[in-house]
């Protein structure tokens, strides 16, 4: 599959006249709890030729492509858009630059971009993202006898990320196993979550699950706790001039 994805990436560069700076896997495969039929969520950061940016007209700064009967989803953002999002500590962007499944990467770009990410990380912005996701998705699960295990994991992961943010002054890792093992959660809950990961690895994306009252209580507790923690969280220390300089240097490379 890597070879096929790299082929599509090369074709995309030619078709759109862009340079892909990073192409990586996100979603359940990168998080560490895929199902057998999970699709491939490929996310890219790309750059146009310098003259493309020298206009007063707004231009499309994103790409969305589906391949192989929608099994391969390649979407991404232009360099300038990514830098603007990074200034806001965009959690989706912070996740993808940590992905361990890399299809294509400009190492010099990635090193510099990661350095900017450290200064841009905002506990309050990131916590609010995961809190909002957990709260919204939990509405689809609570009080139901059956629910999609896939959706349940989205909620669980968001809640564990909230615990990480409360305990550590660094961005949550994309790897769910790494995040789960490092936070202060009862061991029996961790064991049950790992058992559910094993179950999910053998079930289709459409599998419906039941029960898990203790984990549901954990989710409810974390949503409540996180809502009270916001006032103690800080914003980022990002310097926009450093971002401007990085952008110009990248265009001139």
> Residue 57 gets which letter from DSSP?
S
Percentage of the chain with pLDDT > 90?
83
Tokens at residue 245, please?
């300089």
Do 240 and 88 meet the contact criterion of CB atoms below 8 Å apart? no
Share of the chain above pLDDT 70, in %: 100
Q: Residues near 40 by Cβ (< 8 Å), separated by ≥ 6? A: 1, 5, 25, 29, 71, 72, 73
Look at residue 163 in the predicted model and tell me its pLDDT.
97
pLDDT digits (tens, 9 = 90+) for 185-207: 999 999 999 999 999 999 998 99
pTM value is 0.91
């Amino acid at each position: 599959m890597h070879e096929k994805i790299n082929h599509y990436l090369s074709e995309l560069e030619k078709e759109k006249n862009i340079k892909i700076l990073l192409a990586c896997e996100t979603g359940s495969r990168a998080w560490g709890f895929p199902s057998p039929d999970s699709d491939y969520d490929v996310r890219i950061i790309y750059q146009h030729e310098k003259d493309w940016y020298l206009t007063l007209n707004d231009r499309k700064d994103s790409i969305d492509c589906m391949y192989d009967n929608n099994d391969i989803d390649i979407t991404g953002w232009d360099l300038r858009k990514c830098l603007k999002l990074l200034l806001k500590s965009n959690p989706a962007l912070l996740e993808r630059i940590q992905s361990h499944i890399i299809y294509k990467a400009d190492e010099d770009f990635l090193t510099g971009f990661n350095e900017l990410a450290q200064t841009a990380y905002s506990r309050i912005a990131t916590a609010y993202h995961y809190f909002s996701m957990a709260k919204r998705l939990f509405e689809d699960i609570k009080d139901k006898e059956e629910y999609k295990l896939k959706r349940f994991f989205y909620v669980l992961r968001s809640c564990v990320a909230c615990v990480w943010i409360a305990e550590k002054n660094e961005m949550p890792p994309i790897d769910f196993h790494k995040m789960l093992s490092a936070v202060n959660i009862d061991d029996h809950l961790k064991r049950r979550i790992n058992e559910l990961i094993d179950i999910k690895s053998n079930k289709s994306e459409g599998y419906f699950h039941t029960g898990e009252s203790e984990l549901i209580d954990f989710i409810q507790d974390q949503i409540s706790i996180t809502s009270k923690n916001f006032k103690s969280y800080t914003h980022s220390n990002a310097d926009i001039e450093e971002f401007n300089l990085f952008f110009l240097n990248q265009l001139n490379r």
